[in-house]
Amino acid sequence: MENQTGHIDQIKQLNTGIVYRIIDQYGPISRIALSKQSQLAPASITKITRELIDAHLVKEIEFPVLGLRGRPAIGLVIESEGWQFLSIRIENHSVILCLKEINTQTIVEHDYPFNVKGNDAFSTILASLINQFFATYSHYLERVTAISIILDGILEPNSGVIYQLPYYDINNLSLGSYLTEQTGLPTYIQPYVNALALTDYFSLHAKRTAKNIIYLQIDDIVSAAIINNGIALDSNTRRAIHFGHVQAHSDGDLCYCGGIGCLETIVSTPSILRQATELLNLYPSSYLFNCTVTIENICIGIDEKDPLCLHLLNNITELLAKQLSVLINIFGTELILINSPLNRVERTLHTLLQQHCVKQVIPLYYEGLLIEKSIISKKESETALIQQALYNGSLLLQLLQG
């Protein structure tokens, strides 16, 4: 009986999430159209929408139907006013807390210094900052439903465990369960690249013809999210993808993950800056010789055909292409979307990456391969985790149950 009950709950979660997602994406939508779109029986639609309306997650509005006279039709739309969540973005030595409505609107935001080391200090001080934030902005609080955390590191999103985190000396920290115990709110954790990929998919998937996509992040860390036939690979495997921690050089530097010569130790932005500084004496006429070595100045040098800057970019794209080509050949990737400060020189970046990929990808796949810059910012990705939890029904059921 327990198994049967659990199965019924899973079906309810799935169906409720489907209905909510369709209303969010296509509303205002009539119940008849909703039934056709979701392929659920009218009776099921009536029951689910009644529960969502009673919980003030969905509301009815009148809307005109083209070609029909008479009274406007009654359609369903998402009701987000009053439903809030706490977004947390963990950066290098800072943490940004933001109270948002579930429709992505920012209510209030505060940036806190966050200079901590070790599991205990990290979790307890973060919990203290959350309490401080809620106390400071208590007059804004209504129905806070969840906590969303995005950060760069080695983590397991499904369990909420952070295995390693640059700058913070984290080792196997069960942050999700800890914050849920402290606040009573469900906590969702994802790496930035996953949040960026989800945001892009939710907002632009209807316009994209490509169904097999690699989202590539080249920043303080190097990471990738893989969409195969419209489905995130790690949502099926429930295993995080650690693209930046494949070995690029057997005799390279020690990485914080414990590996030697990881891709991230060579093509992340801090590594690029280090290499530029080390090579500067070999290029005395370089644009960088008389200015501060920054990614912005390296990009200026690339635009000006500076030999050192072009050498760095060529080396980066060659190493990236070697690893990306394996994924392209396995998954039949059609589109690579890049989120990086290097997008300032996107034309040169994409051209070099394409040239190196062509050498290693089978013709069947490289002929139609597109490389583009991602237009989604980290700030815009704050809502993605909550949106995903609403669309798959997991958070919806908690809200419906009070």
Query: Does CATH number 1.25.50.10 belong to domain 1-78?
Result: no
Q: Which of 73, 72, 24 has the alpha carbon at shortest distance from 49? A: 24
**How far apart (Å, rounded) are the C-alpha atoms in residues 9 and 72?**
36
Fold of 197-376: Nucleotidyltransferase; domain 5 (3.30.420)
Distance CA 19, CA 12 (A): 11
Per-residue pLDDT of the chain (402 residues), as tens digits, is 445 555 777 888 888 889 988 998 887 888 888 899 888 898 888 898 898 888 888 888 877 665 556 567 778 888 877 889 999 999 888 999 999 988 778 899 999 999 999 999 999 999 999 999 999 999 999 889 999 999 988 888 888 899 988 888 888 999 999 999 999 999 999 888 888 888 888 877 777 788 889 999 999 889 998 887 767 776 665 677 889 999 988 888 888 888 899 999 999 999 999 999 999 989 988 888 888 999 999 999 999 999 999 999 999 999 999 999 999 999 999 999 999 999 999 999 999 999 999 999 999 888 889 999 988 888 888 888 888 888 888 888 888 876
In this predicted structure, what is the pLDDT of residue 89? 93
3-state SS class at 8: helix
- Token pair 């295993």 in the structure block, residue: 239
- Burial category of 144 from C-beta neighbours within 10 Å (exposed 0-12, middle 13-18, buried 19 and up): middle
- pLDDT value of position 130: 95
Residue 296 and residue 334 in contact, taking contact as beta carbons nearer than 8 Å: no
Q: Which amino acid is at 238?
A: R
- Strands lying side by side in the sheet with 213-218: 231-232, 222-228, 213-218, 335-339, 370-373
CB distance 266 to 248 below 8 Å: yes
The residue whose two tokens read 């606040």 is 183
Break the chain into its structural domains and give their ranges.
1-78, 83-190, 197-376
Question: What's the pLDDT score for residue 156?
Answer: 86
Beta bridge pairs of residue 112: 95
Fold of domain 83-190:
Nucleotidyltransferase; domain 5 (3.30.420)
Instruction: Look up residue 340 and give its two tokens.
Output: 């990086």
Fold match between domain 1-78 and domain 197-376: no
The whole-angstrom distance between residue 355's C-alpha and the CA centroid of its chain comes to: 28
